[in-house]
Structure 1
Amino acid sequence: LESLVVPMRNGLCSQKHKPVDYKHLYELAAVEKMASAKIQLKIKKTEQVSKINKERMLLKQHWQVWWQEHKRLSENRQKAEAEIKTFLDEKRHKHKFFLDMRDLEHKLSKERDTYQTNTVVPIWQLKENLKFRLSEMQCYLSEESCLKSKFNPVEMLQQIKFVKKQQKEILEFLILESLALERELEDYKTKALAHSFEEKNGLFLEVPSALLSLECPYPNLKTLVINEYRKLARGYWSKLQEVDQQLKVLYRNIEWKEEDQWVFQTVINQYPRDLQRRRTLYLDVLQRYLPHKSRHDLVVHEKAWDRYHFIRNQRRVLILNWAQARKAFLLKAVTTVAEASAAHETEVALANTRQKQQEICADLKAKV
């Protein structure tokens, strides 16, 4: 502290005051700045390398999941095609319908091969041709005359434009065809849902033929059993309607396009529930496939989807419980009616025995 006070006490012009070397200070500051910039550059490079490594690790995990999904779908497809082929081979000799299905299969197979020949094959040929031309350009880059004779860029560009135009026309045609098929499927879906509702209504509220055909000696007991069944069925039917209403409200409140919803469901189902870091992985993929959705939107939709899935599971459990309760009720009803029939037969036998005893007693009295 004394060394700092002395210059002020003796004055700025004192011999004890040393002039400041600003040039040296600037040099020191520049060296420190350069060292700091190098450190910051190292930090940025480290962060960049860490980000790249993290991205590679995520892609590797995604690739493993996608490969397993591809393998599973391929196996399921082969199994389904084999089952369909076996079924058609077994039934085609018995019904004309299956012969028509076989002809339709051959027709669709030919159409698929024709489509690949007209669309996919030209693209691959063009790709291979471009690779070959690029390799030629590298080989003859220094020989202009040879390059001119072997490569015509204008012709190649025209070929590329022609293929792009052809692909655009085919894609537009496929889009129109898919829209028509979607409308047709929606009509079938509406009819199927209406039919399904009627079936569910009948499944719950219609009295089974096993109850109606029961032979019970007591009409009141049979009526009581049928009424109890209807009461049980109405209870489960009411619960099922409540669950279906909750599902409708939840689905109506999901303000997502059908395409985005399909992508979300497909991605979620691709990742097994026992997979480590499952949520991190599928949220990462969803952000790649749905870049117009923020992470907050995905998380909110995830919660709504979990709620919807939970209620769907409740519905499935409710239907299973109803099937078990229905089966138990029918078994109990059969047992009750069987016991009632046995009791009735016992009563009839006792009544007949009593009547015979009374007749014997009357005969004995008459003889006496």
Structure 2
Amino acid sequence: MNAASPQAFITSFRAEDVEKLSSRLKHGLGRSKYKPTEYERVQAIVDAKRLESALIAKKVKRTRCVAKEIKECDILRQHRQVWSKECPRLQKAEVKTENELHDFIENVRPFGIEDTAIFSLKDYEVFLERDRKAFVMGTVEPLYQLKGDLCFRLDQEQDQGRQLNPTPSNLEQVQHQVNFVKDQQDIITAKLQEEYYDLEEEITGLGLEKFMPNFDNLVNKDNIPTEVLESDCPYPELKESLIQAFHSLSEIYHSRLNSLQEHLKKTDRFCGWCPDDHLRFLFTLSQYTQEIPNNRALCIHMLQKLFPEKTKHDLMEHERLGARQRFTQTHIKVLAQQWQQDQEELLAKALATLQEARDAYQEELELQRDRQHQQDICIRLREKLQQWRAHQEEVAQLQGSIAARQQEEAEAILKREQEKEAALRAHQKEKLRKFNLEQQKRREELEQRDQERLAKLRCAMEEQARQDRERVRFRAEVLAQRKEEKEACELERYREEAEKQNRLEALRSQVAVVAQSDTERMMGDTQSWRNRYLNMKEVDIQKPLFGLNTYTDAQIVADPRLRVEQALRNAGLHHTDYAQEVLAHIKPPRPPRRDTKSELQF
């Protein structure tokens, strides 16, 4: 307790002691019992206590300052770690963007001889690169030179401080140089800011907003495909129902889009802040990702340093508005994609339905007896389209409810994060965890129920598709039956033609010429044989019956192969490999004729 405070000198006493003290002072009894007060000694003790308290207060203040500096240094160190991770990512993004721009300029080709914009684009690229280098030399390089100069001067000042004879320093000249560079950089920054605003106004004046995708034009009530409008449908009611289906689909998505846009119009593009502050806010949020430890506290600390006039509640409220705006924009994009998908599916089904209607009408024109059947097909198609439209509307409502619950879940997650930051006690975290588990269970039950309903609807649509395939198969069977009847008629005609040919062949056999039977003529000698027998000479009895065409014994013995084989046989070597090799190399005395050689390979 501080010694200067009045509570340190208040003594404990009772109210009835006042009368006793006053009576003793009046009768002179107090002088004999009480010692006189030494005010100088008491004043010295009070001054010593005050000095000691002042020293303790200074020590506490110094300790607080040191602790605050240590905490600030720790936070700055964590910020530097975040920036050390962010800087390489930005450098990679810059290099990637420059490479993509360079590849685009390199790959772009002119359309013709008169297309000179490509060459001017490359010249403009060279001009911008030269301008950038000049700007860096004029703005960034002086800062690095000044930094190096100041580091060199600081080292010199430290060396001179260690020496015994320090030289006088030129601090005023250095301060003047630093102030001059600061003023120069302020002028350059103001000039760049002015150019930035001028360029932004110029881009805004070009009217590029009309080339940006507009979801109002995309999800339009009158956006009916020309294939359906200009289609030659023989049934006006069917065409009108198809157009009404497109209208109903567009109205559903248009109402949902209007609700989202109304929700988006509650705040402007920058959530009530100026554009620069909003961009700085988003850039700071993007730096502190989830993988960084204590990212939330670091992000809030950096935002409070960047925006000192904003409170923590304002920053968190702005973050919530930005998250809701991004979620709404994403929902709008997803809604547009879903509308395109449903539009394509409905168009495909409508074209298939129109084709089926045209085929049915052609069959009705070709076969008058199937007119009632075609009318039944049209009624079934109309009922199927109405049922599909009802299913599609129910699917859209379920998807909208799912998206709304997802939005509520996102808002609940953001709200829970705010409650976690506000509540630091353990029992509140436990209660919040139990509440989240109950909410998650309820959402899972709702999600499961919606998914089951979607599965049932899809099963019903698949059953309808199966019935359509059975109807097509029945048509194919009818055509096959007709084809079989036609083939049976062709076979009957071929059979009649064959019977006709058989009858003609029987008639031909009846009128054919038949020779008479003469056994004596058949078994007797022919006239040519008789003529040859009369001219034949007398037969020589000693003449051989057959002529021999072969070799003589002298010719056979003259063959060297026979003699070599006989010698090998006498020596007992005719079964050896040596005998086969010798006989293979011996040639006959006269080569055989070419027509006696066999081409068969054994």
Following superposition of structure 1 onto structure 2, how do residues 92-241 of structure 1 map, counting pairs within 5 Å?
92=109, 96-136=116-156, 142=165, 163-164=181-182, 166-188=184-206, 191-196=207-212, 200-202=216-218, 204=220, 205-212=222-229, 214=231, 216-241=233-258
Q: Give the whole-Å Cα distance in 2 for the aligned partners of 1:201 and 1:185.
A: 23
Superposed CA deviations along residues 164-215 of structure 1, whole A, max 9, x for unmatched, are 5544543443233222102112224xx2334447674155342234544655
Q: Give the whole-Å Cα distance in 1 for the aligned partners of 2:255 and 2:359.
A: 36
Specify the structure having the higher radius of gyration (Cα).
Answer: 2
* 140 and 212 in structure 1: CA distance in 2 versus 1, 3 angstrom threshold: same
Q: Does 1:333 align with 2:353?
A: no
What is aligned with 1:366? none
The one-letter amino acid paired with 2:125 is E
State whether residues 219 and 336 of structure 2, in contact with CA within 8 Å, keep that contact through their aligned partners in structure 1. no
Following superposition of structure 1 onto structure 2, how do residues 68-79 of structure 1 map, counting pairs within 5 Å?
68-79=85-96
Following superposition of structure 1 onto structure 2, how do residues 33-72 of structure 1 map, counting pairs within 5 Å?
44=61, 47-72=64-89
State whether residues 247 and 311 of structure 1, in contact with CA within 8 Å, keep that contact through their aligned partners in structure 2. yes
State whether residues 219 and 254 of structure 2, in contact with CA within 8 Å, keep that contact through their aligned partners in structure 1. no
Structure 1 stretch 38-47 or stretch 236-245: which is displaced more?
38-47
* 280 and 152 in structure 1: CA distance in 2 versus 1, 3 angstrom threshold: closer
Structure 1 stretch 40-49 or stretch 85-94: which is displaced more?
40-49
Measure how far apart 1:254 and its partner are: 4.4
Q: Give the whole-Å Cα distance in 2 for the aligned partners of 1:328 and 1:319.
A: 14
Q: Does 1:248 align with 2:265?
A: yes
Q: Give the whole-Å Cα distance in 1 for the aligned partners of 2:83 and 2:231.
A: 56
**Which sections of structure 2, spanning at least 5 residues, go unmatched?**
1-16, 372-602
Look up the SS of the partner of 1:272 in the other structure.
coil
Structure 1 stretch 70-79 or stretch 37-46: which is displaced more?
37-46
Q: Does 1:257 align with 2:274?
A: yes
* 26 and 84 in structure 1: CA distance in 2 versus 1, 3 angstrom threshold: same
Q: Give the whole-Å Cα distance in 2 for the aligned partners of 1:15 and 1:165.
A: 80
The one-letter amino acid paired with 1:329 is L
Q: Give the whole-Å Cα distance in 2 for the aligned partners of 1:267 and 1:178.
A: 21
The one-letter amino acid paired with 2:203 is L
The one-letter amino acid paired with 1:179 is Y
| Structure (1/2) with the larger helix percentage | 1
* 155 and 25 in structure 1: CA distance in 2 versus 1, 3 angstrom threshold: closer
Look up the SS of the partner of 1:285 in the other structure.
helix
State whether residues 284 and 299 of structure 2, in contact with CA within 8 Å, keep that contact through their aligned partners in structure 1. yes
* 135 and 211 in structure 1: CA distance in 2 versus 1, 3 angstrom threshold: same
Measure how far apart 1:111 and its partner are: 0.4
Q: Give the whole-Å Cα distance in 2 for the aligned partners of 1:125 and 1:70.
A: 22
Q: Give the whole-Å Cα distance in 2 for the aligned partners of 1:295 and 1:77.
A: 33
Q: Give the whole-Å Cα distance in 2 for the aligned partners of 1:197 and 1:160.
A: 50
What is aligned with 1:80? 97
Q: Does 1:270 align with 2:290?
A: no
State whether residues 228 and 243 of structure 2, in contact with CA within 8 Å, keep that contact through their aligned partners in structure 1. yes
State whether residues 92 and 99 of structure 1, in contact with CA within 8 Å, keep that contact through their aligned partners in structure 2. no
Superposed CA deviations along residues 7-32 of structure 1, whole A, max 9, x for unmatched, are x89x7959996759878888887787
Q: Give the whole-Å Cα distance in 2 for the aligned partners of 1:50 and 1:123.
A: 34
Report how many residues are paired. Answer: 344
What is aligned with 1:357? none
Superposed CA deviations along residues 43-91 of structure 1, whole A, max 9, x for unmatched, are 5455444433433333333233333332222222222222222222222
Q: Give the whole-Å Cα distance in 2 for the aligned partners of 1:280 and 1:158.
A: 40
The one-letter amino acid paired with 1:90 is N
Greater relative contact order (Cα < 8 A, sep 6+): 1
Measure how far apart 1:107 and its partner are: 1.0
Q: Give the whole-Å Cα distance in 2 for the aligned partners of 1:66 and 1:215.
A: 66
The one-letter amino acid paired with 1:182 is E
The one-letter amino acid paired with 2:201 is R
Structure 1 stretch 115-124 or stretch 284-293: which is displaced more?
115-124
State whether residues 217 and 341 of structure 1, in contact with CA within 8 Å, keep that contact through their aligned partners in structure 2. yes
Q: CA RMSD in A?
A: 4.2
What is aligned with 2:543? none
The one-letter amino acid paired with 1:99 is F
State whether residues 233 and 239 of structure 2, in contact with CA within 8 Å, keep that contact through their aligned partners in structure 1. yes
* 169 and 43 in structure 1: CA distance in 2 versus 1, 3 angstrom threshold: closer
* 243 and 342 in structure 1: CA distance in 2 versus 1, 3 angstrom threshold: same
Q: Give the whole-Å Cα distance in 2 for the aligned partners of 1:279 and 1:255.
A: 23
Q: Give the whole-Å Cα distance in 2 for the aligned partners of 1:16 and 1:164.
A: 81
* 158 and 340 in structure 1: CA distance in 2 versus 1, 3 angstrom threshold: same
Q: Give the whole-Å Cα distance in 1 for the aligned partners of 2:71 and 2:238.
A: 73
* 172 and 276 in structure 1: CA distance in 2 versus 1, 3 angstrom threshold: closer
The one-letter amino acid paired with 2:340 is A
Measure how far apart 1:286 and its partner are: 1.0
Look up the SS of the partner of 2:267 in the other structure.
helix
Q: Give the whole-Å Cα distance in 2 for the aligned partners of 1:103 and 1:272.
A: 41
Measure how far apart 1:351 and its partner are: 2.7
The one-letter amino acid paired with 1:201 is N
What is aligned with 1:91? 108
Measure how far apart 1:288 and its partner are: 0.6
State whether residues 257 and 332 of structure 2, in contact with CA within 8 Å, keep that contact through their aligned partners in structure 1. yes
Look up the SS of the partner of 2:268 in the other structure.
helix
Measure how far apart 1:289 and its partner are: 0.7
TM-score, normalisation: structure 2:
0.48
